[in-house]
Amino acid sequence: MNKNENQNQKQIKPVNTNDLAGRQFKSEDYKNSDEVSQGLAETHEQMSDTYQEGTVEDTNR
């Protein structure tokens, strides 16, 4: 790898996994653009949709 290729590589910031492990969804996550916030927002949306849909037993009434 030459010097120019090395300079053009994206710099990856180290992540403190202890901070991530305790992270919970916040409504601001829908507005934030970082990967963790976007993942939590998407998971929250999926969980909310599933909860609203109910279970198979609930739909047979």
Concatenated DSSP letters of the chain:
--HHHHHHSPPPPP--HHHHHT----GGGGT--SHHHHHHHHHHHHHHHHHHH--HHHHT-
Tokens of 31: 């507005």
pTM higher than the cut 0.85: no
10-residue averages of pLDDT along the chain (61 residues): 53 70 89 89 92 73 56
